[in-house]
Structure 1
Amino acid sequence: MAAQLDNNPVLETPVLIIGSSMVGMTLSALLAKHGVAECLTIEKHSSTAIHPRAALFHPRTMQIYRELGLYEAMKAESYKHYDELAGLYAVETLAAQDFGTWMKDINEGLEDISPTPRMFLTQQMFEPLLREHATTHGARLQFSTELADFQQDAEGVMATIRDVETGAEQRVRAKYMVACDGNRSLVRDKLGIEMKGHGLLSDSVTIYFRADLSRFVEGRYNGVIYVNNAEIRGFFRLDKTGREGFLVVNTAGKQGTEESRHPGKDITNERASEILRAAIGADVEFEITLLSPWRAVCDVAERFQVGRVVLAGDAAHTVTPHGGFGGNTGIQDAHNLAWKLALVLQGKAGLDLIDTYEAERWPVATKTVNQVFERYIIRTAPELQTEDLEMEEEIPEPWLELGYQYHSRALTTTGLPKGLVATDPASSKTQAGTMARHAMLWTTDPKADEGGNWESTEPKPVADFLGHGYVLLCGHKAVDWVRAGRSINGGSKSEGKRLPELSVHRLSPAIANKAFYEQYQMTPQGCVLIRPDGFVAWQDGAAKEHDAQGAWALQPEDKLRDVLESILCFTPARSALSGQESVKSKL
């Protein structure tokens, strides 16, 4: 939609997204899914990624793309280039004896805690799939376009965007602007937000090349291969044929020297060839196609939001590639933010719901930054591990990928210890503030009456119920909660507040549901409310609450309505229901 302001045309959009790499495009696709179409996403480059770059997708990220309907296409593309049983290896050189493995099978043990596996797929292969999906569903992506300037006020953001080829400028008015513009974020710099953390670890370089390394790879390595010898410390990312990939170089030369920390500075093809030969460990013909220097840092922004402008992805947190956490953490930022923006823009939540994005994602990003720093030191630069170095103890990948948890007023997290960011998803119970843990679920037919119609549907993973809106899962004896959810969906308003519709499901009395009840700490009379991003917002174990005298304290519909108004930030910052302090007090 175009408007007029000061006699100049102004393009209006609900959300302006700066940067159309994986994070920006994912946000645009998620917004479209939640009913906010025609958001504008701009990208200074002329196309999607032309180099492999990010490659390892975590199980949580694959759950997100499963919700978007991209999972099968991604899996098919991945298995053209990588085996299912890919791993993380450690070698002196490709041709030499290996040291061992960091992870022999990247999906070992995941089947019990996630409906989706880890997957290798390069950005170059993936982004065209994502672009087609986003544009097909109403997202507007504009390439060869950069942000020139912006100002914000209490109602939104006025931005000036520029065509990088012609120099033509256009003004854009948006309710919100999300900066997905990378680790050198123009938006972050203009807002005056500093990055804090571990600082510059090395001036690294990625060497893209063509070569036939099949005799070193086939039947031996598939995935990521860490190299550590007297000349080079970094890793290969190769496909299963050994003919496609690149070498990331973190340090080169005499280990522990200051000079070794800057292999990307003034890099030449001649020097890159020496490094590549040292990493391969054999006389092999190769052709270097590109040298891409970059700064290896593990830092997090002091803030993720200023007014109507929000940071996501590398603009908010930057890490080295160790473990593949960079892109995955950014995609999960987008997943947390999209539904909140949608509900606020649709008038189904209070404006303060956007503030809970920073409250929830900043602790997770900080924990991730510290954990990637630990992996960088252990896997690539052990010489930096001195007595004076402050470094967290490494926690397993699943804890960071599936076990992170949130504290904010968008959740009733009274049962979670404050400050706890990640836990073991295989052993910990599901509760408000945690991800909805993987479990199989038998439910009644949606058309069943509230009485004794117990025709069970086919069992499905909990993930199949999630991703589109709030979900209320009710025990098989929780008739009152079923009625409460359906009544709220009947269209009645609470003091003018328009609540989002609930997807209400009732469990069948199948014995097989016992595992779900135990995992979710529910009784057959109870219920659990799950947010659009798959996090548990609230739980109740009984059909009704009693006060000390035995009278009904709150009817189920009233209770459920009060919970929704609280976690959707329609109520003041401190709620008697949740006992939550304001978001800002937690930062």
Structure 2
Amino acid sequence: MRLLETPQQTASRPVLVSMAADTFQTGGIPVVDTPVLIIGSSMVGMTLSALLAKHGIRDCITVEKHSGTAVHPRAALFHPRTLLIYRELGLYDQMAAESVKYYDEHAGLHAVETLAGKKLGTWMKDINDGLEGLGPTGRMFLTQQMFEPHLRSSATAHGASLRFSTELLQFQQDSQGVTALIEDTETGVKQIIRAKYMIACDGSRSFVRRKLGIAMKGHGLLSSSLTIYFSADLSRFVKGKYNGVIYVNNPEVRGFFRLDKTGTEGFLAVNTAGEIGSEASRHPGTNITNERASEILRAAIGVDVPFEITLLSQWDAVCDVAERFQDGRVLLAGDAAHIVTPNGGFGGNTGIHDAHNLAWKLALVLQNKAGADLVDTFQQERWPVAKKTIDQVFVRYIVRTAPELKTDGLDMEEEVPEPHIELGYQYHSRGLTTSGLPDGLVISDPATAKARPGTMAHHALITTRDGEGPFPIANILGQGFLLLVGHNGIGWARAARNLNLEESVSLPAIGIHELGDSESNNKLYEKYELTPSGCVLIRPDGFVAWTERQQAVSGFGGMGMPGPEERLNCVLNDILCITPQPPAYKTEGGSMVTQKGTAKTAEASLAATIFTQRRRLEREKTEFMDQMGAIDKQLADLERMSHLQNEIAMLGMKMRFAE
């Protein structure tokens, strides 16, 4: 097969390569060229395609083997950060309007013995408890079935190419990209797709992940669960008493109801049924029949009422994460990368955050405005978050559904409050100025945590120098890099403007917002540890990348200190994983100038080089220390094994001579 070159990124649709010689070499199958091929067009795949299009990569292809969007009310709880992402895409108002049609905006999480019986407690009285003052969005109930048509419209409006009834048959990759064979399942027409990158959003049974041989690890199979979709009038059991998610726990069934606010539509998710703790109870979905499902549903309701079962769906309750999220130019996102039980609604939300993290990185790499290594930071940042999420959901599964699994030998974390997991984690990667962070994922209370490199840009109100505001910082996030400048930091604003105008610098544009000298900015200064003379650089995904507290001072190049423009340039190059090239100089009349003719000094060039090299060595030192820590752990393990071997040998000799 002849591999085709990728065209320059434009707003055009994917281009069908001319027939004749090309199709002859591919057995008559036409070849299509695209920058990114997305496998799976459920919530995560469609969100990724919409975000890529928003960032200027509109000629991607997304394929989905199903004929359309979701037809059953899966994933129902949207987290605040997820809603910020859809706010960026212009979907938030539609989602809010749709949600209140079917669900109480103050719904909660309750526990009952049966729907008609005794109340056992409340896990969360209101789904927005704990989110006060943390941002312009809260949590929201909205089923996948209701939401995906809106998302599909948004994705196509942004320019995304979505192909339903299309299946991935085979793929292979090389150093330049991925070659995939796809088939239209309705017509049998096949195409070969040549992509720079392929993203697997193809769910928990991911074909791509399995073909790559990437194993899952975590807590394994918890139960072969069952979802019973039904219609019945259960309003008298819920109105004025319960709303949202209603956990059921009795000797016959353990799971949860998800009902709309009328109490007439919904489903029962069954994790275990039958004798508590028995092996058979862990497989309610295996060989299920309508008769058995009716028994389980009746036991969960608590009284005999008329109902109609419309669908039975078996699924595995699992809390696992893939060993890695990347294999060359193929990446995993969503359920293909991590699988959790529905407790807390973390599954879909975590996948959407994957897409948000990855989209801007792919876009800048494909636009030649970032180094290819920037894509590698996707795993560095998202894997620790996914691992923490599966461990926390496992805790919730045990506590809310299967307490019998909590034994003395069970390795289980302490439960962390929802806002901490949703909004309080801190990334650590090459794409951030976070050297010196401790090993492992850092999680804090977003209500009190500072907005530092690696954290989300926490909520605060902004008033600009020209008097605009106060408005939430979320209003200006998500379009690109953003430089937030203190009211005395005009030197940093000037440096950013100069970089934006520098034709020889192939870097993404920086949005600049200068703060006004207003009391309304005091909370922001405190939250971001920002000084009036300093600045904060925020990435396109709304994470703080760099904080500078010092004033921008020019004219010290001869002392080995880069000026503000050079400093900002070096920081951007580092965050974007670009290895900067020294500027080309020529001598004219004894002075050193760049090829553009701008006067420069050798000392300034040296200062920039020293700064860049120092950052590189700091990063290499951090990586080396991580390696040393791993080696020390292996040595300790070997030492323990050796000691155990000695003990076994001595015990064996003792027993031998005792005979």
RMSD over equivalenced CA pairs, Å: 1.9
Cα offset for 1:583?
10
Cα offset for 1:418?
3.0
Aligned amino acid, residue 459 of structure 1: P
* 1:139-177 Cα deviation digits (max 9, x unpaired): 010000010000111111110001122332111111110
Segments of 5+ residues of structure 2 without an aligned counterpart are: 1-14, 581-611, 628-659
Aligned to 1:523: 531
CA–CA distance in structure 1, aligned partners of residues 173 and 531 of structure 2: 49
Aligned to 2:17: 3
Q: Does 1:372 align with 2:393?
A: yes
* 1:123-146 Cα deviation digits (max 9, x unpaired): 000000000010111001000001
- Mapping 1:316-327, distance limit 5 Å: 316-327=337-348
CA–CA distance in structure 2, aligned partners of residues 260 and 582 of structure 1: 52
Structure 1 residue corresponding to 2:464, chosen from 423, 436, 443: 443
Cα offset for 1:483?
0.3
Aligned to 1:219: 240
Structure 2 residue corresponding to 1:490, chosen from 498, 501, 518: 501
Aligned amino acid, residue 17 of structure 2: A
Aligned to 1:447: none
Contact in 1 for aligned 2:555/2:563 (Cα 8 Å): no
Cα offset for 1:575?
5.9
Cα offset for 1:417?
3.0
Q: Does 1:508 align with 2:519?
A: no
Aligned to 1:230: 251
* 1:315-343 Cα deviation digits (max 9, x unpaired): 00000000000000000000000000000
Q: Matched residue of 1:183: which SS?
A: coil
Q: Matched residue of 2:391: which SS?
A: helix
Aligned to 1:539: 547
Aligned to 1:270: 291
Percent of residue pairs bearing the same amino acid type: 66
* 1:180-235 Cα deviation digits (max 9, x unpaired): 00010000011110001110000000000010000011111110000000000000
Q: Matched residue of 1:413: which SS?
A: coil
Aligned to 1:476: 487
Aligned amino acid, residue 524 of structure 1: P
Aligned amino acid, residue 2 of structure 1: L
- Mapping 1:383-398, distance limit 5 Å: 383-398=404-419
Structure 2 residue corresponding to 1:467, chosen from 475, 478, 482: 478
| Cα distance change, pair 300–584 in 1 and its aligned pair in 2 (3 A) | farther
Contact in 2 for aligned 1:230/1:253 (Cα 8 Å): yes
| Cα distance change, pair 29–108 in 1 and its aligned pair in 2 (3 A) | same
Cα offset for 1:512?
1.4
Aligned amino acid, residue 562 of structure 1: C
Q: Matched residue of 1:110: which SS?
A: coil
Aligned amino acid, residue 360 of structure 1: E
Q: TM-score, normalised by structure 2?
A: 0.85
Task: Tell me which of the two structures has the higher relative contact order, counting C-alpha pairs closer than 8 angstroms and 6 or more residues apart.
Answer: 1
Aligned to 1:195: 216
Cα offset for 1:420?
3.1
Aligned amino acid, residue 217 of structure 2: K
Structure 2 residue corresponding to 1:558, chosen from 566, 576, 589: 566
Contact in 1 for aligned 2:385/2:441 (Cα 8 Å): no
Contact in 2 for aligned 1:235/1:249 (Cα 8 Å): yes
Aligned amino acid, residue 343 of structure 2: H
- Mapping 1:271-286, distance limit 5 Å: 271-286=292-307
Say which structure is richer in helix: 2
Structure 2 residue corresponding to 1:577, chosen from 612, 615, 631: 615
Contact in 1 for aligned 2:384/2:441 (Cα 8 Å): no
Aligned to 1:135: 156
Segments of 5+ residues of structure 1 without an aligned counterpart are: 445-454
Contact in 1 for aligned 2:167/2:182 (Cα 8 Å): yes
Aligned to 2:606: none
Contact in 2 for aligned 1:356/1:583 (Cα 8 Å): no
Q: Matched residue of 1:554: which SS?
A: coil
- Mapping 1:347-358, distance limit 5 Å: 347-358=368-379
CA–CA distance in structure 2, aligned partners of residues 459 and 189 of structure 1: 50
| Cα distance change, pair 120–508 in 1 and its aligned pair in 2 (3 A) | same
- Mapping 1:91-490, distance limit 5 Å: 91-414=112-435, 416-444=437-465, 455-490=466-501
Aligned to 2:45: 24
Contact in 2 for aligned 1:179/1:185 (Cα 8 Å): yes
CA–CA distance in structure 2, aligned partners of residues 581 and 108 of structure 1: 43
Contact in 2 for aligned 1:408/1:583 (Cα 8 Å): no
Aligned to 1:448: none
CA–CA distance in structure 1, aligned partners of residues 534 and 407 of structure 2: 52
* 1:536-573 Cα deviation digits (max 9, x unpaired): 0000001237999995712111100000000100028x
CA–CA distance in structure 2, aligned partners of residues 121 and 156 of structure 1: 37
**Which deviates further from its counterpart, 356-365 or 419-428?**
419-428
Q: Matched residue of 1:14: which SS?
A: strand
**Which deviates further from its counterpart, 544-553 or 109-118?**
544-553
Aligned amino acid, residue 383 of structure 2: W
Q: Matched residue of 2:86: which SS?
A: helix
CA–CA distance in structure 2, aligned partners of residues 582 and 531 of structure 1: 25
Contact in 1 for aligned 2:557/2:563 (Cα 8 Å): no
Q: Matched residue of 1:274: which SS?
A: helix
Contact in 1 for aligned 2:491/2:553 (Cα 8 Å): no
Contact in 1 for aligned 2:459/2:472 (Cα 8 Å): yes
CA–CA distance in structure 1, aligned partners of residues 207 and 435 of structure 2: 38
**Which deviates further from its counterpart, 204-213 or 550-559?**
550-559
Aligned amino acid, residue 315 of structure 1: A
Cα offset for 1:253?
0.2
* 1:285-336 Cα deviation digits (max 9, x unpaired): 0000000000111000001001110000000000000000000000000000
* 1:462-519 Cα deviation digits (max 9, x unpaired): 111100100000000001001001001003334xxx1000001100000111111110
Q: Does 1:568 align with 2:576?
A: yes
